[in-house]
Amino acid sequence: MSATPRTHRRLGPAAASPQALADIVALLPADFRRRDLLIETLHALQDRFGGLFRRHLAALAEEMRLAPAEVQEVASFYAHFRLLGDDEPAPRAVVRRCTGPACAMRAVDLGDLPDGVVVEDAPCMGLCDHAPAVLAGKVPVRGADAAKVGAVLASPEAPVTLSGHDYPILARCLSGELPRDAVLAEIDRAGLRGMGGAGFPTARKWRTVAAQPGPRLVVVNADEGEPGTFKDRWFLESNAARVLEGALVAAWAVEADEVYLYLRDEYADLHKDLAVMVRDLPGGVPVHLRRGAGAYVCGEESALIESLEGKRGLPRQRPPYVAEVGLFGRPTLVNNVETLYWVSRILAEGPELFTSEGRNGHRGLRTYSVSGRVREPGVKIAPNGITVTELIDEFCGGMEDGHTLAAYLPGGASGGFLPAHVRPPLAFGAIEEHGGFIGSAAVVVFSQADDLRAAALGLARFFAHESCGQCTPCRVGTAKSVDLLARPAWDRDLLGDLASVMRDASICGLGQAAPNVWQSLLRHFPEVTP
């Protein structure tokens, strides 16, 4: 993976040929000229032709009445779009090999793949519990090796069957059995907070959006990209109907006119079944399924909104907040997949799910994505506030044979490293005193066999690659950190200054949290940071 900011190959403008115009019109639906459908349109072109050819981008710009530079800047921003000259061949297939921390522990040699297959190193794919992971086209390959990848390339259909049910909570809401005030009161009683990482109280967020003048919108954020995080994939695979029910209840509660589900492109194998489920939903509120295109920054809600509008995923300056001025300028409620799952369960089973005793002074349940050197990695619904050793021993079958706990990430790459002897409750507000945070509760476990400096450098490269480039502190700072961390001796003072500037001046959480990678090692692991 490149350690440079998110910039991609740029091709000069080309005249729109009659054949390219004909390709565009024949392939795309009648409404493709809407600006918010630009990314969907680019996906359709790449799916059909294997890449984005210059002639097609020129034709698309002409048909959409956009400047060629506008189409170019969007196509070049997202990592999964492949820009090609008109005389270049499209690849037969693209294989993306995960470089996330769990997969880096089990690096895979893919051997000799068929001619025309392009292999790329890529960020976390949300398959950390099945490391090493590979994305062969749109098909995830778990526990990947050369034989499995070759088999998928020979037969690239991904069988996925998502679960469904009768949406009973939504029916009770629509019938009047569950009034809006009662729904909000139940969510309040549960103390449900946003599970994407920020932890903002859910009911308060709903009330804020509902208080804005309509029309209002709801956005489901299914763009988890934090290295080590894979809970949203698990919820969509095993409980998609609950997630969708939570979204429809949210739309009903804030009186939203439409729902948009933004699915990260690494989860493209789920798209087909989700499209069927979305088409058949009750309730009368349109639900639109949209694909991301490979940009971690779009997990930030305002960048996600920009992407849904067919633009580059650049975080917005705030205020105004998305709850006030969001998608298409409308008040917008953005909740992530796990939050909406819990909305459905809390209303079905009662707020006691979150008010019952947890662990170590905390209450309720929490979902943890656990990967790395444990015997049984996976998504674990466990008592909120559990410690890392309790989580490993009681829910993950202990450490792998021959491995002892040396360090862990309590909240993915952004949460920083903690040493084995520091074991705070894995809960909101309990880790900050140690220089980290829980975030999305992506727990990555390292042992004595792992090189923490190499792991930190890999995560720094991730942040540098995923920086949108909009603000100088993040764009330059993430690239500079890669240079500094690659040196034999770390310059503590310079890294400290860099961290201060990035935290104080970056627009969004990417640049603000990236320094946790090296600052946590400097604080807790002086022996590995000479």
The answer to whether 130 touches 143, Cβ cutoff 8 Å, is yes
What's the whole-number mean pLDDT along residues 417-444? Answer: 95
Residue with tokens 């984005």: 52
| Domain at 63, CATH number | 1.10.10.1590
Question: Can you give the pLDDT at residue 32?
Answer: 86
Task: With a cut of 90, say whether residue 56 has pLDDT above it.
Answer: yes
Does any domain span residue 2?
no
Tokens, residue 143: 């526990």
How does the average pLDDT of the chain come out, rounded? Answer: 94
Q: Which residues contact 263 (CB under 8 A, 6 or more apart)?
A: 222, 223, 270, 271, 274, 289, 290, 291, 292
Question: Can you give the pLDDT at residue 491?
Answer: 96
The tens digit of pLDDT for each residue in 461-500 reads 999 999 999 999 999 999 999 999 999 999 999 999 999 9
Q: What percent of the chain has pLDDT over 90?
A: 89
> Which domain-ending residue is among 55, 84, 113?
84
The tens digit of pLDDT for each residue in 74-118 reads 999 999 999 999 999 999 999 999 999 999 999 889 998 999 999
Residues 229 and 326 in one domain: yes
Does any domain span residue 235?
yes
Task: With a cut of 50, say whether residue 344 has pLDDT above it.
Answer: yes
Tokens, residue 296: 């971690």
* Helical residues (DSSP H) of 2-67, grouped into ranges: 18-27, 38-49, 54-64
What total number of domains does the chain contain?
Answer: 5
Task: With a cut of 80, say whether residue 313 has pLDDT above it.
Answer: yes
Residues 175 and 306 in one domain: yes
Q: What is the pTM of this model?
A: 0.95
The answer to whether 264 touches 292, Cβ cutoff 8 Å, is yes
Question: Can you give the pLDDT at residue 16?
Answer: 81
The tens digit of pLDDT for each residue in 498-516 reads 999 999 999 999 999 999 9
Task: With a cut of 80, say whether residue 348 has pLDDT above it.
Answer: yes
Residues 264 and 326 in one domain: yes
With residue 60 as reference, give the H or E element that holds it. Answer: helix 54-64
> Which domain-ending residue is among 447, 480, 508?
447
What's the whole-number mean pLDDT along residues 222-241? Answer: 95
Question: What ranges make up the beta strands (E) of 195-282?
Answer: 216-222, 256-263
139: left (phi over 0), alpha (psi -120 to 50) or beta: beta
Does any domain span residue 161?
no
At 199, the pLDDT band (50, 70, 90 cuts) reads confident
Residue with tokens 């399924």: 289
The tens digit of pLDDT for each residue in 151-186 reads 999 988 766 777 667 899 999 999 999 999 999 999
Does any domain span residue 362?
yes
Task: With a cut of 50, say whether residue 283 has pLDDT above it.
Answer: yes
Nearest Cα residue to 266 out of 413, 124, 142: 124
| Domain at 412, CATH number | 3.10.20.600
Question: Can you give the pLDDT at residue 12?
Answer: 52
Task: With a cut of 80, say whether residue 455 has pLDDT above it.
Answer: yes
Tokens, residue 342: 């819990």
Residues 478 and 404 in one domain: no
Question: Can you give the pLDDT at residue 291?
Answer: 97
Task: With a cut of 90, say whether residue 403 has pLDDT above it.
Answer: yes
Task: With a cut of 70, say whether residue 318 has pLDDT above it.
Answer: yes
> Which domain-ending residue is among 400, 425, 447?
447
Question: Can you give the pLDDT at residue 166?
Answer: 83
Amino acid identity of residue 28, one-letter, is L
Tokens, residue 2: 């490149």
With residue 369 as reference, give the H or E element that holds it. Answer: strand 365-372
Distances (CA, A) of 355 to 171, 203, 349, 370, 427: 25, 15, 12, 24, 14
Does any domain span residue 119?
yes
- More confident call, 111 vs 306: 306
Residues 304 and 199 in one domain: yes
Does any domain span residue 301?
yes
In degrees, rounded to 5, the angle at the alpha carbon of residue 209 between the alpha carbons of residues 207 and 211 is: 70
Residues 105 and 65 in one domain: no
In degrees, rounded to 5, the angle at the alpha carbon of residue 471 between the alpha carbons of residues 314 and 469 is: 60
Give the domain range for residue 486.
452-528
Task: With a cut of 60, say whether residue 13 has pLDDT above it.
Answer: no
The answer to whether 446 touches 455, Cβ cutoff 8 Å, is yes
* DSSP characters over 346-367: HHHH-THHHHSB-STT-BSEEE
The answer to whether 153 touches 117, Cβ cutoff 8 Å, is yes
The answer to whether 137 touches 151, Cβ cutoff 8 Å, is no
The answer to whether 290 touches 317, Cβ cutoff 8 Å, is no
- More confident call, 147 vs 3: 147
Does any domain span residue 502?
yes
Residues 148 and 193 in one domain: no
